[in-house]
Structure 1
Amino acid sequence: MKDQFNTALGNLIDKLIGWFNAIIESIPNLILAILVLIAAYFAAKYVSRLVGKIVDKRVEQDSIKSAISRVSAVVVVALGLFIALGVLNLGKALTSLLAGAGVVGLAIGLALQGTLANTFAGLILSFRKKIQIGNWVETTGYSGEVVDINLKDFTLREADNNMVIIPNKTILDNPLKNYSLTTRMRVFLECGVGYESDLEKVQQLTKETIANTFDQVEKPEDVEFYFTEFGGSSINYLCRFWIDAESMLEKLRAKTEAIIAIKKAYDQEGINIPFPIRTLQFDNNLNINSSDSKES
């Protein structure tokens, strides 16, 4: 029994001595690994600020800039950690760490599939020059001013001041009309005049009225005018002209001014804008004293 105890004690002492020698031999590598981690920490702060300045020139959203800066810092720190593990000759630990990170990343990706999709979509939208904060856009049935683009959603302010929050992924998957990409818009105006009207006079008066109302229309010939149909109570036409505008609200204001100006011009010239008329005919007498009613 005593011999067994002495043998076990000797093995334990040998093991401790081996560990001690290994620690002593690894001190230079340990110091180097610590220096690598410290250097990675300061490099991450520098890279984060540098990336932030670069992104600031292309992205207006603070949330996007902060997220990109943090991701760049995490990448630098992770790279420093892997180098430090390699310096310590912990290749197996490094392999296990990478494998574990892959499994965890896969699990997180599956669990947060929708959230990650919106996050990456938000990053893509932030770097698109054709979609900027302040633009007036129309998408998925909504129209309004872009007030925010973050990592989760896309926010519009409609003309009635209501906020519409749309997931970023929905914006990328659907068509988007940006009214602010051009400085000119075409106004479409439909109206009708009575059958007794002089159509050539109507055409010329309408063109002159539009040209006199809007500075952007230099002469009446710049206004497009087409009679479209013989309607139920009027001869209908389509009028089109260009204005300087970057939002749907400006287009609506211009259309309102055009309608008011045309109505005044027609009133002065005695041109009638008819409205639908329904005639009710009561000349069919109903015989309530029929034989059927008497029998009942």
Structure 2
Amino acid sequence: MNNSNLKMKDQFNTALGNLIDKLLGWFNAIIENIPNFILAVLVLIASYYAARHISRFVRKLVVKRVEQHSIANAISRVTTVIVVAFGLFIALGVLNLGKALTSLLAGAGVVGLAIGLALQGTLANTFAGLLLSFRKRIKIGDWVETTGFSGEVMDINLKDFTLKEADNNIVIIPNKTILDNPLKNYSLTTRMRIFLECGVGYESDLEEVEKLTRETIANTFDQVESAEDVEFYYTEFGDSSINYLCRFWIEADSILEKLKAKTRAIIEIKKAYDKAGVNIPFPIRTVQFDNKLNINNASSNQKS
């Protein structure tokens, strides 16, 4: 019994000695690494404040080139994360935690791959929004046409592209769709060409019609300096009229202004034609009967 007690006492003393040695080793390691720990903390604090100042600076730079505040905020936040992550990696290196740093990078890579696969469409729209925001040829207020829609650009954010059509409808298009399809920007030029198609009666003096049309357009629009600047071409002998095409340039940067100009041109041409007696015929169909109907005989047969 005494031998067993002595044996248990020896085992307890040995375990206690090992525990004390382990704690002393950890304590000594902490004491030795206090300078590194303090330095790592200082690196993290410095990276935090550096991230704040750098993100503000980046935001100011982005705002000068991009009108969308959502894009500028997103870029500044990404900058903050990058700076803080860089400071964290330096701090781990100062603490000689190379294995932890390697594991952290590996885990970040796996998590990033999983998130990228899960949010593939969202990330595509996000990067497309960033690219669209830095394109100088597309900005808020422009009148554009893409994927069958046309209107004024109201907003470009990280998810979608917002248009306001001429009838005041709002169209929201994913950013990726905008990059993958052709886009026509009417606001890049201040000139637009108006196309007018009409027809006059076969009895009309075609040279007089051409002269009258050219002069009417030139007198209606200040942008048209002379009648020679108006293009006029007869195109075909129609069923009821001789048809023509008239083209001229105006100063406009939206489809709405183009439609207003075309409406004004049609009104003024109609007034000029009415005053000059030029006929704009509507389709007429003549029905011809080769056998003559005898109405008198038909009525007498009905009476009998």
> How would you bin the TM-score normalised by the shorter chain?
over 0.9
Whether 1:144 aligns to 2:151 is: yes
What is the aligned-residue RMSD (CA, Å)? 1.3
Whether 1:164 aligns to 2:141 is: no
What are the superposed Cα offsets for residues 18-69 of structure 1, whole Å, 9 maximum, x if unpaired?
Answer: 1111011110000000000000000000001100110011000010010011
Secondary structure in structure 2 of the residue aligned to 1:8? helix
Question: Moved runs in structure 1, 4+ residues, more than 4 A?
Answer: 279-285
Percent identity over the alignment is 83
**1:43 aligned residue:** 50
How far apart are the structure 1 equivalents of 2:288 and 2:202? 23
Secondary structure in structure 2 of the residue aligned to 1:57? helix
Which of 64, 67, 81 is 1:60 aligned to?
67
Deviation at residue 97 of structure 1 after TM alignment: 0.3
**1:19 aligned residue:** 26
How far apart are the structure 2 equivalents of 1:151 and 1:100? 27
Secondary structure in structure 2 of the residue aligned to 1:216? coil
**1:7 aligned residue:** 14
Higher-Rg member (1/2): 2
* Deviating more after overlay: 8-17 vs 90-99: 8-17
What are the superposed Cα offsets for residues 125-183 of structure 1, whole Å, 9 maximum, x if unpaired?
Answer: 00000000000000000010000000000000000111000000000000000000001
Which of 64, 78, 81 is 1:74 aligned to?
81
Secondary structure in structure 2 of the residue aligned to 1:190? strand
Which of 93, 103, 128 is 2:110 aligned to?
103
How far apart are the structure 2 equivalents of 1:283 and 1:4? 132
**1:223 aligned residue:** 230
**1:271 aligned residue:** 278
How far apart are the structure 2 equivalents of 1:155 and 1:120? 16
Gap runs ≥5 in structure 1: 286-296
Deviation at residue 10 of structure 1 after TM alignment: 1.3
Gap runs ≥5 in structure 2: 1-7, 293-304
Q: Which amino acid aligns with 2:94?
A: V
| Equivalent runs, 1:184-263 vs 2, <5 Å | 184-263=191-270
How far apart are the structure 2 equivalents of 1:215 and 1:198? 27
Deviation at residue 226 of structure 1 after TM alignment: 0.6
Secondary structure in structure 1 of the residue aligned to 2:65? coil
Deviation at residue 4 of structure 1 after TM alignment: 1.9
Deviation at residue 281 of structure 1 after TM alignment: 6.2
Q: Which amino acid aligns with 1:252?
A: L
Q: Which amino acid aligns with 1:151?
A: L
Deviation at residue 2 of structure 1 after TM alignment: 2.2
**1:120 aligned residue:** 127
How far apart are the structure 1 equivalents of 2:59 and 2:291? 84
**1:177 aligned residue:** 184
Deviation at residue 195 of structure 1 after TM alignment: 1.1
Give the TM-score normalised by structure 2: 0.92
How far apart are the structure 2 equivalents of 1:24 and 1:129? 58
How far apart are the structure 1 equivalents of 2:66 and 2:288? 68
How far apart are the structure 2 equivalents of 1:37 and 1:152? 33
How far apart are the structure 2 equivalents of 1:232 and 1:93? 86
Deviation at residue 278 of structure 1 after TM alignment: 3.3
How far apart are the structure 1 equivalents of 2:205 and 2:122? 63
Q: Which amino acid aligns with 2:236?
A: E
Give the TM-score normalised by structure 1: 0.94
